[in-house]
Amino acid sequence: MAAPLSVEVEFGGGAELLFDGVKKHQVTLPGQEEPWDIRNLLVWIKKNLLKERPELFIQGDSVRPGILVLINDADWELLGELDYQLQDQDSILFISTLHGG
């Protein structure tokens, strides 16, 4: 049982092209049964924020290789990648290092 969370989702390096050019999104995640983790967040982003071409951002369960994820300015690999549990006021940054968006 998780309370609604307010997190800031930011996109850089061209990834913002898939989100109407908006770089920063302050989102409020609704309360739900399981705690929010990155996996769920990605699903939520795909459903609610991603405007076009989901395959350019998400691949299967995770982000496409070549997109860096920073959670509170730290590499997500240090925090457990998809299993990291979101806290309130977290800042998630997706930087695309790919050539084509």
Partner 1 sequence: MVWQVLEGLSRESAKRLRFVPGIVCIDEGAACGLSPEARAKALAEMKLILQTVGFPWHVVALEEVFDLPPSVLRCFAQEPVGTEGAYKAAVDSFLQQQHVLGAEGAGDSPSLAQGEEQLSWPCTQDPQNPQSPDRPPTAAQTEALSRLFDSVKTLTAKEELLQALRTHLILHVARTHGYSKVMTGDSCTRLAIKLMTSLALGRGAFLAWDTGFSDERHGDVVVVRPMREHTLKEVAFYNHLFAVPSVFTPALDTKAPEKASIHRLMEAFMLRLQDQFPSTVSTVYRTSEKLVKAPRDGCAAGPPGPRCLLCMCALDIDTADSATAFGAQTPLHLSQTQPPTPPPTAPCCSAGMGRVQGCCGGARPCEREDPRARVIEQLCYGCRVNMKDLPSLDPLPPYILAEARLRSQRACIEQQIQEYLVEDSDDEAQTGES
Phi-psi region of 37 (alpha: psi -120 to 50; beta: other; left: phi over 0): beta
Residues 80 and 25: their CA atoms lie apart, in Å, by 23
* Residue in 97, 92, 98 with CA at minimum distance from that of residue 75: 92
- 69 lines the binding site for partner 1 (CB under 8 A): no
Q: Counting contacts by CB under 8 A, is residue 20 touching partner 1?
A: no
- The span of 9-17, 24-32, 33-41, 42-50 binding partner 1 (CB under 8 A) equals 9-17
Q: Is 15 left (phi over 0), alpha (psi -120 to 50) or beta?
A: alpha
Q: How far is the CB of 85 from partner 1 (least distance, A)?
A: 23
Q: Minimum distance from CB of 54 to partner 1 (Å)? A: 12
- In sequence order, the 6+-apart residues with CB closer than 8 A to the CB of 13 are 95, 96, 97, 98
17 touches partner 1 (CB under 8 A)? yes
**Which residues, 26 to 65, sit near partner 1 by CB under 8 A?**
53, 56, 64-65
User: Residue numbers of the site for partner 1 (CB under 8 A)?
Assistant: 12-14, 16-18, 53, 56, 64-66, 68, 70, 73, 75, 93, 95, 97-101
